[in-house]
Amino acid sequence: MTFISYLKDGISLGSIYAIIALGYTMVYGIAKMLNFAHGDVIMVGAFVILTAVTKAGLSPLLSILLAVVLCTVLGVVIEAVAYRPLRKASSNLAVLITAIGVSYLLQNLALLIFGADAKSFVTVIDVPTLVLFDGQLTIKGITIVTIAACIIIMCALTFFVNKTKPGRAMQAVSEDRDAAQLMGVNVNSTISLTFAIGSGLAAIAGLLLCSAYPTLTPYTGAMPGIKAFVAAVFGGIGSIPGAMIGGILLGVIEIFGKAYISSQVADAIVFAVLIVVLLVKPTGLFGRNIQEKV
């Protein structure tokens, strides 16, 4: 039973990584950039919800909606102002560094506005805990919600990217921007759309992250952002199911590492497993192994 229970814990934690990784991988796969500010958009989303609920007294649903809208706008604005001018830069590292600048900017703005003190997140999602096997296994409501959200978002994104026209356009843009343009794809708006979706999902991720681990500071998004990056790579860059599976596995490994090896070196264990997996499968679990035509 303890094994099952640990597995459940791992999946709960992993589902949080997964939900962040889904938004991350969207931008990562299409715009071909590591958006280091993604984690901070998550933080902004969480702060918006918290402020809307506690200070403005909005209903939870309305607050979430507000956060999604604001984060979407934020994502689009960031892309237009800070990333778009660098789209044709001679190295794609340039935009990576700018993303880091944006990350600092969001953190420090939040610091000035909300202060440094950690705040507890309020209960926005109220789903009862599931009790199984006479209380031997309990699954928290938020976990169920997160996993459900993950699956829904994963399916929706997969469908969107593969089966809809804007989705196809996104893939074309990720392959070859100029050629996509020649096909009539508006590259700017496609990338904006990508950021809009990614950032909207960040707001949801912020909600779920802070509901599961109810603490919030201006730096709350940074570490989960990195872990989501790890999860996205783990699953295979640009692969939507990969992001989800990568996230969940990351969580499970972390929990098993703590449970069966040592809680002091759990981080090292997670990363060591990641390395081993990548050495065996160099493009991640679901990454396509693109052979270069010589």
Ligand X SMILES: Nc1ncnc2c1ncn2[C@@H]1O[C@H](COP(=O)(O)OP(=O)(O)OP(=O)(O)O)[C@@H](O)[C@H]1O
If the CB atoms of residues 88 and 165 are measured against ligand X, the closer one turns out to be 88
d(CA 85, CA 89): 8
Q: Is 91 in the site for ligand X (CB under 6 A)?
A: no
d(CA 259, CA 242): 25
If the CB atoms of residues 91 and 291 are measured against ligand X, the closer one turns out to be 291
Q: Which two tokens stand for residue 286?
A: 């679901």
Q: Tell the smallest beta-carbon distance from residue 292 to ligand X (Å).
A: 9
Q: Tell the smallest beta-carbon distance from residue 58 to other proteins (Å).
A: 15
Q: Tell the smallest beta-carbon distance from residue 153 to other proteins (Å).
A: 21
Q: Is 291 in the site for ligand X (CB under 6 A)?
A: yes
If the CB atoms of residues 36 and 195 are measured against other proteins, the closer one turns out to be 36
Q: What is the DSSP letter of 79?
A: I
Q: Tell the smallest beta-carbon distance from residue 151 to other proteins (Å).
A: 21
d(CA 220, CA 199): 16
Distances (CA, A) of 192 to 22, 105, 153: 17, 20, 19
Among ligand X, other proteins, none, partner that 274 touches (CB below 5 to 8 angstroms by kind): other proteins
Listed residue (76, 65, 121) closest to 102, CA to CA: 76
d(CA 67, CA 73): 10
CA angle 34/38/40 to nearest 5° reads: 135
Q: Cβ neighbours of residue 83 under 8 Å, at least 6 residues apart?
A: 31, 33, 95, 98, 99
Q: Is 90 in the site for ligand X (CB under 6 A)?
A: no
Among other proteins, ligand X, none, partner that 176 touches (CB below 5 to 8 angstroms by kind): other proteins
- Phi first, then psi: give them for residue 238, nearest 5 degrees: 85, -10
If the CB atoms of residues 137 and 156 are measured against other proteins, the closer one turns out to be 137
Among ligand X, other proteins, none, partner that 286 touches (CB below 5 to 8 angstroms by kind): none
Q: Tell the smallest beta-carbon distance from residue 124 to other proteins (Å).
A: 11
If the CB atoms of residues 68 and 99 are measured against other proteins, the closer one turns out to be 99
Are 43 and 178 contacting, i.e. CB atoms less than 8 angstroms apart? Answer: no
Among other proteins, ligand X, none, partner that 12 touches (CB below 5 to 8 angstroms by kind): other proteins
Among ligand X, other proteins, none, partner that 164 touches (CB below 5 to 8 angstroms by kind): none
If the CB atoms of residues 55 and 88 are measured against ligand X, the closer one turns out to be 88
- Which positions touch ligand X (CB under 6 A)? 291, 293
